[in-house]
Structure formats: structure tokens, C-alpha cells
């Protein structure tokens, strides 16, 4: 298992590498930050390969597909969860766990239920203690909210409870919180949670939603949707979420040249532009999408 000192070194290195998105964008500089989802097929390779690729600043392990009511289910579709801990390495890459997803059974019945889920995530994946931690003694950097099913209730409570654990991690490190809402504003599942202002990053999914996805004929609507998201989240870094291949989503794929020359110049005008989020490592590995866009992100 990865030792705690190695994990803390990773966090320290990551802190040195990750720039302030607001100041970088304000100065007219590219942040170069790419987030990728990993965990839904063994064909994407091991976590250490993704973290060590030099392509991403954040890798999100997906998904905890079951939670609430005292029940929990981690689904890493084809991956050996015992191999995840050793792969959380000191390469300056944040590693988060995503809860939710498009398949599963999850919800929060009450504020007390949200507190119980926050405690579970702390004890099993973050800085707490449990005899049955799925990733051993590996301490992940935070939690991602990809809430697509069930009811929207109490995710604001869950976010506040998780953020309150900041400072209790080894070395006093914070708990990173990210979210992946759909681009129609406001997101019906995460709207209330995002209004708490406690999320560090918001990876807006500008795909599977033709009304706000980027294409040349829809550039004005895309720009309006982006501006709405960026202006509504002044305390968060906002990322442009995209599929890494045409087959990775039903719609919303943007070819690398169009992204670099047309879409990114629109979103990079926002002071809190943070970078690009890709679904997923599997598709990116097949197409090399991140390599083609990294210079422009």
C-alpha cells in the first residue's frame, strides 16, 4: 500500500503545480489543467499510468454508485480496487473519488443521512480510519459530485459536511470538492449544492445537451451558457467538460482544432476559467485527445 508520507508528498507537489485559475486567466495565460475520469473499464490501464502520463493535473476515480441509507457500493468496473492505493503516487496529480454517475442507486434521505455519508467518505477514502478501507492507507484528495439520478435533496448538506473535514487530513490539507453538473443552467440535481460556494472546481458537462454544446452553428448559445456558469460560480474554477472521442457521448464532441481555435478562446475570457475536463481516460487513451489540445488549454 502507498505510505502516508508518499501521499502527503503528492499533495505538496500538487499544491506547487496547480496554479490559481483566476489569476492565470486574468493575466491572459493558459492554465494547462486537464481533469480526466478513470475507473470504468480495465482497458484504460492502471491509475498509475494515468497519473504518470503528464497529461492531467487531476484524475477522478469513478464511481461510488451506491450510497445513502447506510448502504454503499463502489463500482470500478473491471479494476482491482486493491491496486488503486499503491497507484496514488507522488506525481503532483490530485486523485479524487466521484460519487454518483449515470448508473446506480443513490440518494440522501435527510440531513442526518448526508452526515453519515460524509463520515463514511472521510473514514473509507479520505483522512479517517476504518478497518475496511477499499484503497488501504491511501488518502485521496477529495470528492467529486456527479449526481445524475434520484432526488436533489441534501447534497448541499453533504458538501458542507465534507468541506468541514478540511484541516483534519494529515498535514492539515484541505478536502477538495468538485462537481460535474450538466450545462443547462441551473443543474436540477446540483443547483442547490453549488449555491453553497464550497466547491473548488466545477466541471460543467457541455455534452449530451445539444442546446448548450459547442458547434459552429451554436456558438452564441454555447457562449451564453458558459458565461452563465462562470458568473454564477465566482469562488470556483470552472472547467469545460467534453468527451474525448465521438463515441464517448451521444453528442457534444468538439474536434481538437475547433476546440483550440474556436471554443477555448470563448471560455478563456472568464477570470475563473480553470481548464478542460475529459470523459474519459479510456477514450482519451484511444484518441490522444488530451495530447492534441494540451498546448491550447
- Residues with a catalytic annotation lie at 148
Rounded distance between C-alpha atoms, residue 43 and residue 95, angstroms? 19
- Which helix (DSSP H) or strand (DSSP E) does residue 152 occupy? none
Task: Report residue 74 as a C-alpha cell.
Answer: 463502489
- The single residue listed with the C-alpha cell 448508473 is 103
What are the grid coordinates assigned to 285, written together? 487513451
In a 13 Å sphere around the CA of 191, the CA atoms on its Cβ side amount to: 10
Report the distance separating Cα 27 and Cα 6, nearest Å.
34
**CB-based contacts of 93: which residues, under 8 Å, 6+ apart?**
10, 14, 51, 56, 57, 58, 59
Q: Write phi, then psi, for 88 (nearest 5 degrees).
A: -80, 105
Amino acid at each position: 500500500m502507498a505510505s502516508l508520507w508518499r501521499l502527503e508528498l503528492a499533495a505538496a507537489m500538487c499544491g506547487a503545480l496547480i496554479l490559481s485559475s483566476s489569476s492565470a486567466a486574468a493575466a491572459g495565460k493558459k492554465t494547462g489543467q486537464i481533469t480526466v475520469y478513470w475507473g470504468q473499464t480495465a482497458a484504460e490501464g492502471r491509475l498509475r499510468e494515468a497519473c504518470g502520463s503528464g497529461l492531467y493535473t487531476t484524475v477522478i476515480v469513478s464511481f461510488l454508485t451506491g450510497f445513502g441509507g447506510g448502504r454503499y457500493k463502489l463500482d470500478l468496473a473491471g479494476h482491482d480496487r486493491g491496486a488503486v492505493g499503491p497507484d496514488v503516487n507522488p506525481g503532483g496529480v490530485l486523485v479524487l473519488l466521484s460519487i454518483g454517475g449515470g448508473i446506480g442507486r443513490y440518494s440522501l434521505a435527510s440531513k442526518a443521512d448526508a452526515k453519515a455519508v460524509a463520515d463514511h467518505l472521510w473514514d473509507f477514502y479520505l483522512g479517517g480510519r476504518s478497518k475496511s478501507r477499499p484503497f488501504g492507507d491511501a488518502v485521496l484528495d477529495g470528492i467529486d459530485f456527479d449526481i445524475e439520478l434520484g432526488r436533489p435533496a441534501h447534497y448541499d448538506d453533504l458538501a458542507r459536511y465534507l468541506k468541514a473535514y478540511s484541516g483534519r487530513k494529515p498535514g492539515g490539507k484541505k478536502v477538495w470538492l468538485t462537481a460535474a453538473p450538466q450545462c443547462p443552467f441551473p443543474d436540477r440535481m446540483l443547483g442547490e449544492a453549488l449555491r453553497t460556494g464550497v466547491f473548488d472546481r466545477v466541471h460543467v458537462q457541455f455534452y449530451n445537451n445539444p442546446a448548450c454544446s459547442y458547434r459552429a452553428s451554436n456558438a452564441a448559445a454555447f457562449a451564453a451558457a458558459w458565461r452563465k456558469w462562470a458568473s454564477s460560480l465566482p469562488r470556483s474554477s470552472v472547467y469545460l467538460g467534453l468527451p474525448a472521442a465521438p463515441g464517448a457521448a451521444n453528442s457534444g464532441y468538439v474536434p481538437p482544432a475547433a476546440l483550440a481555435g474556436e471554443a477555448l478562446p470563448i471560455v478563456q475570457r472568464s477570470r475563473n476559467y480553470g481548464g478542460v475536463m475529459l470523459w474519459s481516460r479510456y477514450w482519451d487513451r484511444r484518441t490522444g485527445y488530451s495530447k492534441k489540445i494540451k498546448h491550447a488549454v
